[in-house]
Amino acid sequence: MIDMNTDVGFIFTDALTEVISTVSGFTLEVLSQQCDDSFGDMTGVLGFHGELSGVLFISSSEADLRTICSYMIGVHFSEVSQRDIEDALCELTNMTAGSAKLRFGYTENVFNLSLPFIIKGKDVSVAVKDRTCVITRTLGNENISIKLKVVCN
């Protein structure tokens, strides 16, 4: 049985930190586990459905996303386009969900991922029903900060 707050939070946090480390070389630490409804300038969103169903949100400032993207594609941050940032955030979201799926040990038949997409703007909020599991983590280091939010059953 999956402990929603402990296992799900750990698995998605570990998946995101590994993905960021792999694509950019940055090592992230958990800066906060407080329930915070704020989002950054851009948010990657991806739904998942199966034994565990929900939505993954990965959000950050445009500047921090530009930095991550710069390391991902190997160009100076001044050369990173808006489209590059959007593609990178979609890919980070997709890779994080895929990594979490593997960590849960689910197969394709019992755990499906939607296509990732981007929401732009800080005035985004997510309202959920009572008894819905909401896990929020802020991860970062001296260079970047990124927010992880998982809403699941």
Q: What is the structure's pLDDT at 28?
A: 97
CB 42 within 8 A of CB 89: yes
Q: Is the pLDDT of residue 37 over 80?
A: no
SS3 26: coil
For 78-98, what is the mean pLDDT?
A: 97
Q: pTM of the full predicted structure?
A: 0.91
**Where does the pLDDT of residue 126 fall: very low under 50, low under 70, confident under 90, or very high at 90 and above?**
confident
9-24 vs 82-104: helix crossing angle, rounded to 10: 130
**Which architecture, in CATH terms, is 4-152?**
3-Layer(aba) Sandwich (3.40)
**Where does the pLDDT of residue 119 fall: very low under 50, low under 70, confident under 90, or very high at 90 and above?**
very high
| 27 Cβ contact list (under 8 Å, min separation 6) | 17, 21, 141
**Where does the pLDDT of residue 1 fall: very low under 50, low under 70, confident under 90, or very high at 90 and above?**
very low
Beta bridge partners of 150: 56, 135
